[in-house]
């Protein structure tokens, strides 16, 4: 089998790239290790920057995100038991974010790919990349136990943190940077109305809390927990009890509890791999970088990588220029490191660290107070939260 772009991984990065390339008439095949049901079963973050929504628009898959997504013009910070609103809209000259779950984005992209009759090979086993530093790369894999080869011009490694693509870059070329945090997030999804209209990021003496949502009737809550905790240790009752203790009686006046639809624990990590291109292999999304979820930058970064890769591929096939290919890694990494910095900072500010100590707590309190009192400081939070510009706006406007 032959295609122009072989895409490894049918997460949001791989599926979005596939759809954008298809719209531009660039033939592609996706190879995914899991089943579609497994991919859709993973609950991830749910806040989209405008750039991500623009890319969904460009890919022709944004109808439901516009209809069902919730426009959020502010977020709340809570500390010392008091809530403070950060007016994203006012501080950024009119920008907002859209609350729409990653699972729904993935579902919309899968539906669009099916409707367009495009090729996705699920349950592809033993994927191996070959010849990435030649002009004729190929991907070997097994389907139903039978060895297959996919020949291509380029490979897009969209196979997440545990995929094979990053590992295919020679060790003497790849440089990685990592920080692992000494706690995790216990997430719970429940069909209950959210405790508040906007997201609440709460710094409390018992640890961090995030109150988020998927719709007006579905809530997503997170508790900072020790890495040693297991999800089985947390009954629904224990989760709600701890949430109440952390949020306090005042906030909980509007808290509605109910049975969980899903509970899971995720570790927190900052990770970047450089470069993001080696020969004809491009890394995009979690394959190249991980951010801690505070600020919800993971999916948005995956989308902006895909935007740059789409631009590189259209430059190559439609404009006969390799400028986008040559600049890909550098353009992505500039934005990646900005989002890494923001996610690391927001995590450090709002979480309880084992070694914070009395002095550290005072520093967190002083910075949180500064953040709400200084317009410059809250503007810095707001402009990062809604998403830094991508320098693709012209391209999107021209090709829309
Ligand atoms: N072969 C084929 N597919 C693979 C392989 C492999 N060896 N390894 C992993 N995959 C698949 C996974 O099963 C998964 O479906 O690649 C896909 C990667 O998807 P994601 O992990 O969702 O990564 P990405 O598409 O980059 O999306 C980034 O996900 O983790 C969040 O915060 C992150 O929201 C961001 C988004
Ligand atoms: C979520 O709704 O899952 C979510 C929202 C905001 C974050 C992280 C996760 O910062």
52 C-alpha to ligand 2 centroid (Å): 15
Q: How confident is the model at residue 399 (pLDDT cuts 50, 70, 90)?
A: low
Q: Decide: 292 in ligand 2 pocket, CB within 6 A.
A: no
Q: Decide: 299 in ligand 1 pocket, CB within 6 A.
A: yes
Provide CB contacts within 8 A for 24, sequence distance 6+: 310, 313, 314, 317, 318
User: In whole angstroms, what is the distance from residue 272 CA to residue 9 CA?
Assistant: 19
Task: Quickly tell me which residue has 């490979």 as its tokens.
Answer: 155
Q: Decide: 120 in ligand 1 pocket, CB within 6 A.
A: no
121 C-alpha to ligand 1 centroid (Å): 14
Shortest-distance atom of ligand 1 to CA 42: 22
Q: What pTM did the predictor assign?
A: 0.96
For the chain, give the mean pLDDT: 96
Element containing residue 183 per DSSP (H, E): strand 175-190
Q: Decide: 211 in ligand 2 pocket, CB within 6 A.
A: no
Q: Decide: 98 in ligand 2 pocket, CB within 6 A.
A: no
Residue 282, pLDDT > 70, answer yes
Q: How confident is the model at residue 392 (pLDDT cuts 50, 70, 90)?
A: low
State pLDDT tens for residues 308-322: 999 999 999 999 999
State pLDDT tens for residues 265-274: 999 999 999 9
Furthest CA-CA distance within the chain: 64
Which CATH number applies to 5-72+96-178+269-351?
3.50.50.60
**Residue having the nearest C-alpha atom to atom 19 of ligand 1:** 11
Q: Cis ω on the peptide bond leading into residue 199 (within 30° of 0)?
A: no
DSSP alpha helix (H) spans, the chain: 12-23, 36-41, 50-59, 63-68, 88-91, 102-115, 236-252, 298-318, 323-350, 357-373, 375-386, 393-399
State pLDDT tens for residues 185-215: 999 999 999 999 999 999 999 999 999 999 9
Residue 390, pLDDT > 90, answer no
Please state the domain extents for the chain.
5-72+96-178+269-351
State pLDDT tens for residues 2-24: 999 999 999 999 999 999 999 99
Shortest-distance atom of ligand 1 to CA 34: 13
| Whole-number pLDDT of residue 45 | 87
């Amino acid at each position: 089998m032959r295609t122009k772009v072989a895409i490894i991984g049918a997460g949001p990065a791989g599926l979005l790239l596939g759809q954008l390339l298809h719209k531009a008439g660039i033939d592609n095949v996706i190879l995914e290790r899991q089943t579609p049901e497994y991919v859709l079963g993973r609950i991830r973050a749910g806040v989209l920057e405008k750039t991500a929504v623009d890319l969904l628009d460009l890919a022709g898959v944004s109808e439901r995100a516009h209809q069902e997504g919730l426009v959020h013009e502010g977020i709340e910070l809570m500390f010392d038991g008091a809530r403070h609103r950060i007016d994203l809209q006012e501080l950024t000259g009119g920008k907002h974010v859209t609350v729409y779950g990653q699972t729904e984005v993935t579902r919309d992209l899968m539906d669009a790919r099916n409707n367009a009759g495009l090729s996705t090979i699920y349950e592809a086993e033993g994927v191996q990349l070959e010849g990435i530093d030649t002009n004729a790369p190929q991907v070997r894999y097994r389907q139903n136990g039978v060895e297959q080869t996919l020949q291509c011009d380029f490979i897009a490694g969209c196979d997440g943190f545990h995929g094979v693509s990053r590992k295919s870059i020679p060790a003497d070329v790849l440089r990685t940077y990592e920080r692992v945090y000494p706690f995790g997030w216990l997430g719970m999804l429940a069909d209950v109305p959210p405790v508040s209209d906007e997201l609440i990021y709460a710094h409390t003496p018992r640890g961090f809390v995030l109150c988020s949502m998927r719709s007006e009737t579905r809530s997503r809550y997170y508790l900072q927990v020790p890495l040693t905790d297991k999800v089985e240790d947390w009954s629904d009752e224990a989760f709600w009890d701890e949430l109440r203790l952390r949020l306090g009686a005042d906030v909980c006046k509007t808290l509605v509890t109910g049975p969980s639809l899903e509970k899971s624990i995720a570790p927190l990590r900052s990770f970047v791999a450089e470069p993001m291109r080696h020969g004809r292999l491009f890394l995009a999304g979690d394959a190249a970088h991980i951010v801690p979820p505070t600020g919800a930058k993971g999916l948005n970064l995956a989308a902006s990588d895909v935007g740059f890769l789409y631009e590189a591929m259209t430059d190559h096939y439609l404009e006969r220029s390799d400028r986008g290919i040559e600049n890909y890694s550098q353009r992505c990494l500039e934005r990646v490191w900005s989002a890494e910095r923001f996610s690391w900072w927001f995590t450090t500010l709002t979480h309880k660290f084992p070694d914070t100590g009395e002095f550290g707590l005072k520093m967190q309190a002083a910075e949180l107070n500064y953040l709400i009192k200084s317009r410059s400081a809250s503007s810095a939070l707001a402009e990062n939260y809604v998403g830094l510009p991508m320098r693709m706006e012209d391209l999107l406007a021209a090709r829309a």
